[in-house]
Structure 1
Amino acid sequence: MKITLLGTGTSQGIPVIACDCNVCLSKNQKDKRLRTSAMIEVNNEIFIIDTGPDFRQQMLTNNVKNISGVLYTHHHKDHVAGMDDIRAFNYKWRKDINIYCNNITVKALYNEFPYVFEKEKYPGVPKVNINLFTNKEFYVNDIKIVPIKAMHYKLTVFGFRINNFVYLTDVSEISDKEKQKLYNADLVVLDALRKEKHISHFSLDEALSLLDEVKPKQAVLTHVSHYMGLHDEVNKELPDNIKLGFDNQVFNL
């Protein structure tokens, strides 16, 4: 299984428009972050987690020629705004693209992209198949996908576990029951917005506390804001098996 972090930044990305902080002005490529997303290549299938505003750029940068489907964590703009660009794969392969989401997210997609779901569609719009999931494991061909329910302030969001890989972003709270799904992982990609506490995201300390509890072999932190600090400086403060992720980082599990 191959994991690619397509983006590791928060909703504004880094650099932030009009910001002159040392992170936004950094020349280090690892301090430049597109909106959070990931690609999972497993058993000849390619899944994208979230299609944010940078989806097109992320597909081009990583030379992605085909995808099997999109897994949505939730419906916030920085995670769904690029869905229209799915149509490039429709044109290339003459197939609909499977979307996997919960009932809250699909309602938001209907409102955000009404032209995709109209009975009489305008030519050239994205063609998608909606597959709803709840907090129960489901299969795509022979691949088991385990949703992980968490809270993003008052909004229910979902992470995912595939084999020994866990992806959980935009989380401020997770129950003990759901934490069980994080144990015995080879790699956990986890939300950590900044060092200071935040109402709807894990802080660095909160992320480290959860990781200390579930003890993955390796963890990387994502959805990072410019308030976290410089990539290399923050990583010096972290345990050897826990580091800030960076855009286009690849893991082979």
Structure 2
Amino acid sequence: MKVTLLGTGTSQGVPVIGCTCEVCRSVDYRDKRLRVSVHLQVGEKSIVIDSGPDFRQQVLRERIRTLDALVFTHEHKDHTAGLDDIRAYNFSQHKDMPVYAEQRVLEQLKREYSYIFADYKYPGIPRVELYPITVEPFEVEGVPFIPIRVMHYKLPVLGFRVGDFTYITDANYIAEEEKEKIRGSKVIVLNALRHEHHISHFSLKEAVAVLEDLQPEQAYLTHISHLMGLHREVELQLPDFIRLGYDGLQIEV
């Protein structure tokens, strides 16, 4: 499996509009962060988890020419705002796009993209097939997924384990029974917003503590704010097996 971090930034991305901090002014490409998303190439299957507002830019950058399915962690706009751009795949692949999410999230998509689900279908709109998921294991186009329930303040969110890879974003709490689903993963990608405590995201210290407990061979941090600091400086503070993720990073699992 090849994992590509399409975006590693927060809901505002980095640089932040109007900000003149050293991170937002940095010329280091690793400090340029689009909204969070990940691409999984599992054999011949191409799967994206979360299509945020930068989805079009991300798939063009990584030359993702085919997409077999889209999976959502939750309904927040920085994770769903790129759904309309699956139209290009509809046209090139001549089929509807399978979309996997919890029923609550699917209902939100129906409200936000009402034109997709209207009785009268305007020509050229995205075409989707909705697949409700729960906390039970499921398959995406034949690829086994294990959902992991995490909390984003008071909002239940799903992370996913695919083989030896676990991906969790927008979380500040993982119950012990859910951690057991993660243990044994060789690679974990986990969110870490900034150094200071936050109401709905792990801080750097909190994320490191979770990863030191889970002990993967390698871990990467994502959903990173400009308040975290410069990439090159923060990396020096991390344990050897933990790195900051960055846009375009490719991981073989």
TM-score exceeds 0.5: yes
- Counterpart for residue 88 of structure 1: 88
Is 1:72 aligned to residue 90 of structure 2? no
Aligned residue identity for 2:99: I
2:60 partner SS: helix
- Counterpart for residue 244 of structure 2: 244
What is the deviation of 1:240?
1.2
CA-atom RMSD in angstroms:
0.7
Is 1:173 aligned to residue 173 of structure 2? yes
2:238 partner SS: coil
1:32-89, CA deviations, whole angstroms, 9 ceiling, x for partnerless residues?
A: 0000000000021011010000000001101111101011000101000010000010
Q: 1:24-63 alignment to 2 at 5 Å?
A: 24-63=24-63
Q: 1:79 to 1:228 in 2, by over 3 A?
A: same
CA contact (8 A) 1:15 1:25 kept: yes
2:79 partner SS: helix
What is the deviation of 1:135?
0.2
What is the deviation of 1:147?
0.6
2:38 partner SS: strand
How far apart, CA to CA, are the structure 2 residues paired with 1:123 and 1:203? 45
2:27 partner SS: coil
How far apart, CA to CA, are the structure 2 residues paired with 1:75 and 1:188? 22
1:218-241, CA deviations, whole angstroms, 9 ceiling, x for partnerless residues?
A: 000000000000001000010111
1:82-137, CA deviations, whole angstroms, 9 ceiling, x for partnerless residues?
A: 10000010011111110000011111101110001112211111000000100000
Q: 1:89 to 1:142 in 2, by over 3 A?
A: closer
The two structures have a TM-score, normalised by structure 2, of 0.99
How far apart, CA to CA, are the structure 2 residues paired with 1:125 and 1:252? 35
Q: 1:127-166 alignment to 2 at 5 Å?
A: 127-166=127-166
What is the deviation of 1:140?
2.9
Aligned residue identity for 1:135: V
1:78 partner SS: helix
Identity rate, percent: 49
- Counterpart for residue 113 of structure 2: 113
Q: How many residues matched?
A: 253
- Counterpart for residue 220 of structure 2: 220
How far apart, CA to CA, are the structure 1 residues paired with 2:173 and 2:129? 31
What is the deviation of 1:142?
3.5
Aligned residue identity for 2:42: V
Moved more, 218-227 or 181-190: 181-190
Large movers: runs of 4+ above 4 Å: none
How far apart, CA to CA, are the structure 2 residues paired with 1:231 and 1:223? 13
Aligned residue identity for 2:187: L
Aligned residue identity for 2:251: F
Moved more, 118-127 or 5-14: 118-127
CA contact (8 A) 1:2 1:42 kept: yes
The two structures have a TM-score, normalised by structure 1, of 0.99
Is 1:103 aligned to residue 103 of structure 2? yes
Aligned residue identity for 1:167: Y
CA contact (8 A) 2:116 2:126 kept: yes
How far apart, CA to CA, are the structure 1 residues paired with 2:140 and 2:90? 19
1:147 partner SS: strand
Gaps of 5+ in 1: none
1:197-235, CA deviations, whole angstroms, 9 ceiling, x for partnerless residues?
A: 000000011101110111100000000000000001000
